[in-house]
A and B are shown apart, each in its own frame.
Chain A
Amino acid sequence: MQANNALNYDYSVAKCFTYATILFGIIGMLIGVVIAYQLAFPELNYLAGEYGTYSRLRPLHTSGVIFGFLLSGIFATWYYVGQRVLKVSMAESPFLMILGRVHFWLYMILMIIAVVTLFLGIGTSKEYAELEWPLDIAVVVVWVIWGLSIFGLIGIRREKTLYISMWYYIATFLGVAMLYLFNNMEVPTYFVSGYGKWYHSVSMYAGTNDAMVQWWYGHNAVAFVFTVPIIAMIYYFLPKESGQPVFSYKLSLLSFWGLMFVYLWAGGHHLLYSTVPDWVQTMGSIFSIILILPSWGSAINMLLTMKGQWGQLKSNPLVKFMVLASTFYMLSTLEGPIQAIKSVNALAHFTDWIPGHVHDGTLGWVGFMTMAALFHMAPRMYKRELYSKKLMESQFWIQTTGIVMYFSSMWIAGITQGMMWRATDQYGNLAYSFIDTVTVLIPYYALRATGGLLYLIGFFMFTYNMYKTMTASKAIASEPQNASPMAA
C-alpha cells in the first residue's frame, strides 16, 4: 500500500471548516467589538432595536467565538492533523469522507439556527450552554459524528502509536461530550403540560445544584475547548513548522495526565463565597493552583522546543505567533490560579478583571494558535505559498497591541471596581454608590473596546491574506517539509 504514490491526504473537509472558522471568527469578534463599545457608549445599544442590546448580543458573542470560530478551528485542524499523524488518508475510506461532509453541513445548519435563536432571545441563560433542547440534541448528533470520524480514522491508521496531539483531540471529544450532556439536562415543558412554546424547557437542576453543574461545565468547557485542543494543535504545528521535534515527549505525556486529572476539580473557583459547600470552594481553589504545573509543563515544553532555534522568531512569523501563544498560555494559566485564591477572588469576582483574564487566554493563546495553524495548513491544502509575509508581520503587531490594551485596561478596571465596591468612609459606611463604580470605568471600557477593534482589524488582515493565498498566490511544486513558504 505504501508504494502507491497516487495516494494523497484529502483536505476537502479541512478546507470547509477553514472557511467556517474565518466566517464565524468575523461574526463572533465583530459582535464582541460592538458590545465592548456599547459599554462605553450606551447609545450603540439601539442600532437594531430589540435585537441589538448588549444583553441580547452577549450570548451571541460568547457562543459565536466558542462554538463557531473555535470549534470550526478545532475541526479544521483535526481533519488535517488527524490524517497526517496517523499516516492514513481520508480518501482511503469513502465512509469517512461522507461522514466528514455530513459533519460539516449539519454543523453549519446547526450554527445558523443557533445564531438566529440567540438573536430572538430563545435560550436557557446558562453561560456557554444557552441553546434550547432541540438544538442541544442537534449538538449531540454533530458531536457523535465527529467521534465516529475520529475513531474511524484511528481504526484504519498505519501508525500504531498515537501521537500526543491525538491524545488531546480524543480528550476534547470525551470531555465536552460528558460536560455538555450533563449540563444541558432539561425537561421540555410543552410535552409535560401541553401549553406554551414547544421549544421551551426547564433545567433539571435547581438553584445551588444548577450553579454547581453549570460551573463544572463552564470552567471545563474552557478546559476542553480553549485548552486541550489548542495544546493538540501546538504539539503538532510548532514542531512541524520549526522542524524541531518536541523538546521532551515524555514531559508531554506526563502533562497530559496531570491536566486531565487536575482540571475537572477546579470548577469550584467560580463559586467562591457563594452558597455551595465550603469544601467544594476550597478544593476548587487548591486545584486551581495545582493546575499551574501541568499547564506550564506543556507551555515550557513548547518554548524549549525552540531551544537554539530562536532565530526562527525573526525569520518566520508563524513561529512568532505560536511562541507568543504559548507565552500567553503561561500568563493566563498563572493569572487564573491567582484569581482562584479566595482572598483575591473576594475582590476580583464579578469585576471586569474576569473578562480580562478570559481574553488573555482567548485572544493571545487560542486566537493566535488557531490563526497560525490555518496559516500553516493553507500552503499545504491549496498548494500555493502564503500571500504576504509583510501583512502577517503587521497583523502580528496590531493584534499584540490590541491584546495588551485589552488586558491592561481590564486589570485596572476590575481592580478599581472591586476596591470601590468595598471602600468605606471613616464611619464605616459605603463610600460609593453603585453608579459611581460604573461611570469611573468608562474610559477603560473605551480603551478595551479599541483593543478589541485592533484585534478584529488583525483578523480581517488574516482573512484577506488567507483569501489571497487560496486564490492568487504563486503555486508551489511540492509540499514544503517545514517552514511554510511565503511571499514577501
Chain B
Amino acid sequence: MFHWLERNPFFFAVGVFLVVAYAGVVTILPDFMESARPVTGTKPYTVLELAGRQIYIKDSCNACHSQLVRPFKSETDRYGKYSLSGEYAYDRPFLWGSRRAGPDLMRVGNYRTTDWHEYHMLDPKSVVPGSIMPAYKHMFQNVADIDTAYAEAYTVKTVFSVPYDQPDMPTLGTYDEAKKQVMAEASAIVADMKSPEIKEAFQRGEIKEIVALIAYLNRLK
C-alpha cells in the first residue's frame, strides 16, 4: 500500500490533503454552532461605528493594539472585565490582534473620552509622554466613508441575519434613514470635540474619519 502511494502522485496528494484537512474539520467546524451566539446586551455596530471600525482596520490599529482581555488579575485590573466569546458576535473580522506595542482597547470606551482621543490622535505625546504611537493627522483631513459602512451593515443584516431594526437594537433602515441617523450620532461627537475645522466640515455635511473612529472607540466597552 505504502509503496503504491509513493509512486502515484494523485493518490499521494489526496492522502496528504486528508491528513492535513482533518484537523480543521474536527477543531473548527463544530464550534460554528455555538460561539457566534451573542451575550445579552451585545448590540451590532451602528453605521457610524462601523465606519470607524473600517478606519481602525484601514490604519491597522490592530498591528499594535489587542482587543482581548485575558482572564488574569493583572489584565482585569488594567483593562477591565475579561473577554467573553459572545461579546464578539458581531465582529467581522475579529480584531484581537497579536501583539501589544500599545495597550489593549477592548474596553477603552470605559476610561477614555472624546476629547482625550482627539488630542491623542493629533499628538500622542501631548497626552501620554513617552508614547511611541504615531500621530494620525490624516484622520482629521480624510472624510469617513459612510456609504461603505452602510453597505457593510446592510450586508451583514441580509446575509448573516444580524439583528438590526429589532426591538432594543440599532436601527438601520433605508440608506437615507441611516444617513440621517449617522449625522445625529456624529453631531453629538463633534459637539464634544475642540477642533474648529472638524466643526466647520460637519456644518458642510462632512464627517471626518476621526469622528467615526472616536464613535467606534467610545463604543468599545
Contact = CB atoms under 8 A, between A and B. Distances in A.
Direct contact of A and B (CB under 8 A): yes
Contact of A162 (B7, B58, B78): B7
Interface in B149-186: 149-152, 154-156, 158-160, 175
Given A260-B20, A430-B77, A196 B145 contact: yes
Interface string A123-139: 11111000000000000
Interface stretch (A185-193, A316-324, A390-398): A185-193
A264 B93 contact: no
Q: Is the interface of A mostly helix, strand, loop or mixed?
A: helix
Given A192-B151, A195-B150, 9 more contacts: A121-B59, A192-B159, A195-B151, A196-B151, A200-B151, A270-B98, A274-B70, A422-B74, A438-B102
Contacts of A422: 72, 74
Given A209-B32, A277-B31, A58 B63 contact: yes
B88 interface: yes
B60 A268 contact: no
A209 B31 contact: yes
Contact of B57 (A123, A175, A178, A263): A123
A193 B150 contact: yes
B12 A167 contact: yes
A157 B58 CA distance: 47
Contact of A206 (B62, B74, B89, B131): B89
A53 interface: yes
A113 interface: no
A207 B88 contact: yes
Contact of A264 (B24, B95, B149, B150): B24
Given A208-B35, A435-B129, A354 B99 contact: yes
Interface stretch (B112-120, B132-140, B190-198, B199-207): B132-140
A38 interface: yes
Contacts of B187: none
Interface string A34-78: 000011101001100110011110110000000000000000000
B160 A206 contact: yes
A275 B160 contact: no
A125 B132 contact: no
Contacts of B63: 54-55, 58-59
Contacts of B9: 151, 154, 162, 170
A386 B146 CA distance: 57
B74 to A, nearest CB: 4
In which size bucket is the chain A interface? 35 or more
Interface of B: 6-7, 9, 12-13, 16-17, 19-24, 27-28, 31-32, 35-36, 54, 57-64, 66, 68, 70-72, 74-75, 77-78, 83-85, 87-103, 128-136, 138, 142, 145, 147-152, 154-156, 158-160, 175
A42 B134 contact: yes
Contacts, number: 255
A355 B177 CA distance: 46
Contacts of B32: 205, 209
A192 B17 contact: no
A309 interface: no
A450 interface: no
A283 B27 contact: yes
A454 to B, nearest CB: 22
A208 B36 contact: yes
Nearest to A268: B27
Contact of A55 (B59, B131, B175): B59
A125 B62 contact: yes
Given A160-B7, A197-B148, A214-B94, A170 B60 contact: no
A346 interface: yes
A352 interface: yes
A350 B92 contact: no
A40 B77 CA distance: 28
A154 B28 CA distance: 33
B147 to A, nearest CB: 4
B55 to A, nearest CB: 9
28 contacts: A39-B132, A45-B135, A50-B142, A55-B134, A58-B60, A121-B58, A122-B58, A124-B57, A160-B7, A178-B20, A190-B151, A192-B159, A193-B154, A197-B151, A202-B152, A205-B92, A207-B91, A210-B88, A210-B91, A211-B94, A213-B28, A216-B28, A264-B20, A270-B98, A275-B35, A277-B31, A423-B74, A435-B128
A212 B134 contact: no
B99 A208 contact: no
A486 interface: no
A430 B78 contact: yes
A202 B57 CA distance: 12
A203 interface: yes
B31 A276 contact: yes
Interface in A155-175: 160-162, 167, 170-171, 174-175
B109 to A, nearest CB: 17
Contact of A161 (B6, B64, B77, B142): B6
A207 B94 contact: yes
Contacts of B72: 273, 346, 422
Contact of B93 (A45, A210, A283): A210
Nearest to B30: A277
B35 A209 contact: yes
A171 B155 contact: no
Contacts of B88: 206-208, 210-211, 275
A85 interface: no
A190 B145 CA distance: 13
A200 B78 CA distance: 35
A257 interface: yes
Most chain B CB inside 10 Å of its own CB: which residue of A160, A167, A210, A354: A210
Contacts of A203: 92-93
A286 to B, nearest CB: 12
A275 B82 CA distance: 9
Nearest to A129: B93
A438 B35 CA distance: 34
